[in-house]
Structure 1
Amino acid sequence: MRQNIMHKGSTRTKKNMTARIACLVMSFVMAGGMAGCGKENSEKVPELVEPVSTNEAYRPVTYGDIGKKVIKTGTIVPTDYCYYYDTSVTLSKVYVNVGDEVKKDTVLAETDSNASTASGDDGSDTDSGSIVDDSSTSMDGDDSSGADSQDVKKYSHEIKQKIYEQNQAELDWKIKACEEIGDSKGAAEARTEKAINEENNRYDNLLYEYEQKKLTQQDEDEDKVKQSGTLKADRPGTVTYAKKISGSENTVGGGENVVVVSDYSDPYIEITGESFKKNTYSMYKNMYTVINGKQYDIVPYNYTNQEIAVAQSKSSLPYTRFKLKGVKDADKILSVGNTVSLYFSTSDAKDVLTVGNDSIYEENNQKFVYVKTDSSEKERRDIDTGASDNNYTEVVSGLKEGDLVYYASDAVMPSDYTEYTVALDSYTKTATVKSDSFSVEDLNSVSYTAPCDGRFTSLNVKKGQKVKKGDVLFVIDSGGGTAAVKDIDNQISEENQTYSSDLKDFDDQINELTNEITRYQKGKVATPTDAENTLYMAEQLVCQRNVVTYNKDLRIYTHNATIKSLNAQREKLNKNNDGSGKITVYADQAGTVLSVGAKTDVAVKEGANVLTVGSNDNVILAISISEGKLAVNQKVSISNKNNSGKKISGVCVGSTGDSSKSYISTDSEGGVHVTKCSGSDELKYYIKVDDASFYKKPKSYQVSYPTKSYENVVMIPNNMIYHETSKNNSNEYDYVWLIKDDEIIKQYVTLGEADKTKTVILSGLSEGDVIAKESGATSTGGSSSSSDGSDNSKSGADSQSDGGSDSSGGDAAAAE
């Protein structure tokens, strides 16, 4: 009676097979001796087709898949919903943090309604802010921001239109004068000039209308932001990214994610780092993954042509992703944070009868095998074949399931062995993060940066000190006293001087033209016989004077706008400035000073982080990693460096934003949006630790995280895996000794990841299969030798494999 001892892999004792093997070898020796006896015959002896090998080995015909396989690692991730603004805005508050659970209509962020800063071009590349030129009078426009404002450009366009009308009227008078004296050439030249002016004016108006439509749309977008600058969650979920704002760093660009809310109940599989390419996977006939020992077909997520076109135009293609085919409640199967293997096969030979390539022979273009008969003899059986891969071939006809087919093998079968029952196990490969690569952060903290270059004259707080809103934190001397303010004053003074000079020039031109007009009006009436055509000269000069007057009006308008802009700049510079160049920074909120990164009388650059104020109410572990990436909801292990027995766990709840990842979506009106997170100088992952004592002495710990993790995969001891090189070619194969119907069969397998004791089996074995384990071998490793004495054991494999048929009839195990 056999006894099964079930555990991760079960074993049972088997009778010694030495006698059986000895008999088989003796029969081959006797057959060889008989072939060598007898009278020499001059006739040619036919070639013996039947093979001779060390072992009389048979393998049953089974159902399996045929084809080369590519195996990739996928990460189960939640569906992300991004919240952002269409235009650049200034944020006043982000109300949520990474790890927060939100409900529908939860307020996520708000803008400063008075600080919307549209990112679109305001048309400053046009010349509509310049003094308009006519044939005799011109003046360059002012380049200040005031002179480039939209009000100035609108007024300038109106002036240009009036000047155009005056120029055309002047040409009309000139044409009339030429016609009356018979100067057809002069009249033609004036008409040509008038036509050119008309075309230029038409183009200018079209350009202006386009710019106005663009600005109108921009204004509407800004109005939407001002009227509804609040981002609200439109569904429940978990916050996995939140924009961190501090001090002056509170501006986000259009399409930049402010908050990302993830829905764990709607998971899919992502190949992180692999950008989507259309039809990449169309060549594969079979695509599937294996989860908890069960195979599921997968299909690529198909983005629309418009989505891909927009993403390509922005060089922001999303990552490749897959979903389970025909599965409604995917969240019951896909566990967010886990990794799975994705199998891709180029063959459509799925669940077909298979036979090992080492069993097939060919004679006169006819393929055949040897089948074991009821009398244990070998019988030739002609077969028709279909698809094949490195290990197995599809049998179209000639065999049926269960037929025992002979295969050539020089490998010595185990003679004294125990049985090992294949079971599912877990595999994890980890990396370690030392304490110098992580920190504890307060998610409610606010960082204060230097508002300008200078030197610290005072630091009014220290680490651990409590502050109230409005307390003085530090003072910086800009180094130039009131230099910046004086520079603005100088610009105002220069503008006033230039303005006065310009007005005098305009007045001089107007007076001169007025005198000319009076002279022509009082002079004799011109006749066609005069040497100089002065007909209607007074009327032409009136048009010229009107042009100068319009330019003067524009100069007055631009001057007022420039002075207003400069005064606004000066007012901004004077904010928190005591007049001597010393700028004071105040606390925006109450809290505790968490860190101070400056000293008194030390130089500082604008934007440099000075100190951080927080509440310690919402602390979290932030880690930087050098290998791989952490997925949302992925678990980590935290161990005490001084006490290896003390371990706590944590889970990744989000990050500071992966700037390499693109998010793509289509709204209800068909508009495509591609957004990104701004990221940070160093990508950090936020870990929620389940033991608060960790935060008291975080530097006493180190963090281990899985770079690869697979649950419920087929794993077997390393010393049960054998390796051989083909006699016919240099191909290398891995195999195990499978026990089926009391027969020991060489079963080819595809290897995945391995640890010190076990190896993941990608294909060739299934849960419940029984394999032979040589007596004396331990499950902790060791070597398995072939008949020639070479080391025949192997563990580990590449993450991509040509695979082969899972001829045991089961599903391939998931691993990379």
Structure 2
Amino acid sequence: MLQSGERVPVTEREYSTDELVLAKINNNYPNVLIEKPEGVELKAGELYPIYFEEKKAEHVLLVGNDSLYQEDGETYVYVKAGDDTREKRKVTAGAADDHNTQITDGLAEGEAVYYETTERMPSDYTEYTVERSDFQVENHGLKYGRADKNARVYLAAKEGEIVKIAVEKDAEVKKGDLLYIINTGEGKAAITEAANAIETENTTYQKQQTDYDAQLIELQNATDSVSDYDRQMITLQKEVAEADHSYTLQQLQAAYDTLSRGNDGTGKLSVYADEDGQVSKITVWEGDTVEAGDEILKMKGEASDLLLVQMVSSKSVTVYTDDIAEAGEPVSITSGDTTYTGTCVGFAAGSNNLDEGCLYIDENGAHYTFQTTSGYDTPAFYVRMNDEIVDDMGNGESVDFPYISMEDVIVLPAG
């Protein structure tokens, strides 16, 4: 890897079987894990390029890809044969990358080949002295405020029309009280379909496991190495199928619960309070049409000493909504001549970047949860400011943090 412009050797850490099974369940090819190099300090939010060999060929003949031509499935080059002559010669290509190709037959070391290029020296240019510097592209959080502890945001589970808002702003509610009714148009037919999907998944899984068990019985008395390998593969496939079934069943059950909870059979869903609390915000009104994931109302929580930053998009400012500040990364708010600074202490994903996961910190340490949404339908992160939070802190400004940050690298103008 490159760290402060220097090459540092690193080692890949292999994934365990459990980790690979988890990756398969979530249809993700796992990221490459790199062990932290000994004696190297890495900073949160910094970008460190990692280089690795996909193929390796040592002491071989190479030509640039611009010298290769294809015709009737064969590869050839033009070799300089004299002052003004060239020879068209068939060659055999080997390993290749984006720039060069290995030649295993048809050329000898030292021969000159022609290449085709569209590059040319610019007619007008400005000299630029190459030097090392820090390189940073900033990201901006435009929506921020003091975070609530244990605040509860109620989002629409389905698209539909708000039929009734049963509470008022600042009202005290008890667990189980009716909050609102939404007409989703999904009645008994949808509930039956969801139940059938669960039954089909269970039946398919049982048949699949029976087939794996039958294959294992056939191989149990074999002693050759091929059969041993087959047994291991079938056992692993059985474990993957079991984990996959558990995950799929959980998703189907959640869908069924969402449809059936409070459903009167005509498609009208009644939503009730999960816990005691006070309504701090109502976002919609009766008759409004909402999309799945839209905020309906919010229950007040206890004020915290953290700043909550939500990554909402903007037409006037470039905001990378796929990026959340990393835990430990510095952030700042500049308002006039005053700059407030702080540190990101945790983050939560939105629907457009669930692979970021959710990190939360309590008295027992830091905890990571995969695919947990922020509850705001946007990526969000939490900042502990170095100064006391005041209501007008940087009012109307943005929370700034690095989108790309690299130290001591060679930086060139894009042109």
| TM-score w.r.t. length of structure 2 | 0.45
Give 1 or 2 for the bigger CA radius of gyration. 1
Whose helix proportion is higher, 1 or 2? Answer: 1
Q: What is the TM-score of this pair, normalised by structure 1?
A: 0.25
